[in-house]
Amino acid sequence: MADKKEGYDLVIIGAGPGGYIAAIRAAQLGLKVACVEKDAVLGGTCLNIGCIPSKALLESSHKYAECRTGLKAHGIMVGETSFDLATMMGRKDEIVKTLTSGIDYLFKKNKIERFTGAAHILDGLKVRVTGEKELLLTARAILIATGSRAAGLPGVAIDGTHVVSSTEALAFAAVPKQLVVVGAGAVGLELGSIWHRLGAEVTVVEYLDRVLPTADRDMSKHALRIFKKQGLKFLLGAKITGIEQAGEGCRVNISGKEPLVAEKVLLAAGRTPCSQGFGFEELGGRIDKKGFIEVDSHWQTSLPGIYAIGDVIGGAMLAHKASEEGVACVEYMATGYGHVNYQAMPSIVYTHPEVASVGRTEDSLLEEAVPIKTGIFYFKGNGRALALGESDGLVKVIAHHDTDRILGVHIIGPQAGDLLAEAVVAMEYGASSEDLARAFHAHPTLSEALKEAALNVAKAAIHG
């Protein structure tokens, strides 16, 4: 017999960046909140096996690469360099532990009840939790924040040893001699960069004809040039027909090309929603043909009182998108109003250099016959970038031809992700390129490149 726990205003299923932030915001708004998470630690994929551990390893591997090749130009002579992979992994794990324990603290601070176990939605806005003991939670509303998982390839199984997902690729015990990365999106390029810096021979295979297929074409073009210069290899427009074990490694068969042989193959060709197995579909909840839960503009599913946010509903699979949706959704529950401006949603690839974007790409606007004007500025004309020794890259500002309203900003270059924040705020408040161009930008800073690109929308860049 399940123990009954009643009287919750909201039960949230999933404690990733969508679920746990929604829980905290709901508690701040005075709701009595319970959060059910199947894993023993909070934070979901992002914190435990995604965003955070990958950034830790990106930083460690970049520092090693800098010691090997980047310091000589500064007059710093370093002898033979080496690294200890176990120490890198330990540092990564400590960072994750710090953040997960921080969420634990925030749950206690905000009086959020946490339950560990598998959730199953029952009729009448009830949630059965199967863990150490069975519980039955009753609420006025349920929020599904179950996220997504790595997608495989048809006919190719992830065995965790030879064919791996990002989870295993963040915890290799040794650097693979050869690594084939399937997918030239953010995950593939970030993880490929980590292991290439540490000594692996990395080949990235992409079905489409360019890297970062959803990015602005200028960003894709420059990214490919830079990554090739760094030593990554690419096969674009390549269709994988099968992956099979070959000795201690794998053979990757590619249509019309010679097969690739590698110690490990990383599948980074997208993610699939975790939308089944917890009762939603059994109750008649609508799921589309791709497996995403269907919601309206207030994140309400087809079942009254049940909401969904984040990767499980589709759109950009980004942690900060899930977080913003979580906040807006519970604000709507509590106040009747909640909004996310998807047109000002940033996206960042944490390679070196970083690739960051907000808003529309030039191609997408031209396809819709939107009249536009663009301004580009290269970091090689920026004093701070030259001082850093990181002058490869550019800033691109796209504005409406008639109104001058900013429609998109795209950056590849040093600290692009942080630089983008200014553009996000500008777009959130409907700024024009002239607004951005006329605002003070301290000298010498990387942010001057954004100002110059905005000036160049009117062909008025000072240093371009």
Query: Residue 7 — left, alpha, or beta (φ > 0 → left; ψ -120 to 50 → alpha)?
Result: left
Question: DSSP of 78-137, one letter per residue?
Answer: --S----HHHHHHHHHHHHHHHHHHHHHHHHHTT-EEEESEEEEETTTEEEEESSSEEEE
Q: What is the mean pLDDT of residues 421-429?
A: 98
Domain boundary among the residues 215, 241, 268 is at 268
Do residues 9 and 134 share a domain? yes
Q: What is the mean pLDDT of residues 175-201?
A: 98
- For residue 2, pLDDT over 80 is answered with no
Do residues 11 and 81 share a domain? yes
Q: Is residue 373 part of a domain?
A: yes
Do residues 146 and 295 share a domain? yes
Q: Is residue 158 part of a domain?
A: no
Closest CA to 199 of 224, 180, 174, 182: 174
Do residues 132 and 204 share a domain? no
Do residues 172 and 142 share a domain? no
Catalytic residue of the set 62, 401, 443, 463? 443
pLDDT above 70 covers a percentage of the chain that reads 100
Range of the domain at 320: 3-150+273-340
Do residues 316 and 348 share a domain? no
Give the C-alpha separation, 382 to 464, whole Å.
Answer: 10
Q: What is the mean pLDDT of residues 63-81?
A: 93
Active site residue 400: no
Please report the pLDDT score of residue 157 as a whole number.
85
User: What is the Rg, in whole angstroms, of the alpha carbon atoms belonging to the chain?
Assistant: 24
β-strand partners of 242: 253
Q: Is residue 86 part of a domain?
A: yes
For residue 264, which amino acid is it? Answer: K
pLDDT class of 307 with cuts at 50, 70, 90 = very high
Please report the pLDDT score of residue 275 as a whole number.
97
pTM: 0.96
Please report the pLDDT score of residue 3 as a whole number.
84
Give the C-alpha separation, 270 to 152, whole Å.
Answer: 8
Please report the pLDDT score of residue 1 as a whole number.
62
Look over the chain and give the mean of its residue pLDDT values, rounded to a whole number: 97
Please report the pLDDT score of residue 246 as a whole number.
87
Do residues 215 and 350 share a domain? no
Q: What is the CATH number of the domain that holds 308?
A: 3.50.50.60
Q: Total structural domains in the chain?
A: 3
For residue 375, which amino acid is it? Answer: G
Closest CA to 308 of 278, 277, 337, 275: 275
Phi/psi at 121 (5° precision): -80, 130
- For residue 440, pLDDT over 80 is answered with yes
Q: Is residue 50 part of a domain?
A: yes
| Helix%, strand%, coil% for the chain, nearest 5 | 35, 25, 40
Please report the pLDDT score of residue 152 as a whole number.
84
Q: Is residue 462 part of a domain?
A: no
pLDDT class of 248 with cuts at 50, 70, 90 = confident
CB 293 within 8 A of CB 286: yes
Q: Is residue 157 part of a domain?
A: no
CB 18 within 8 A of CB 316: no
Burial class (CB in 10 A: 0-12, 13-18, 19+), 309: buried
pLDDT tens per residue across span 22-52 = 999 999 999 999 999 999 999 999 999 999 9
pLDDT tens per residue across span 385-412 = 999 999 999 999 999 999 999 999 999 9
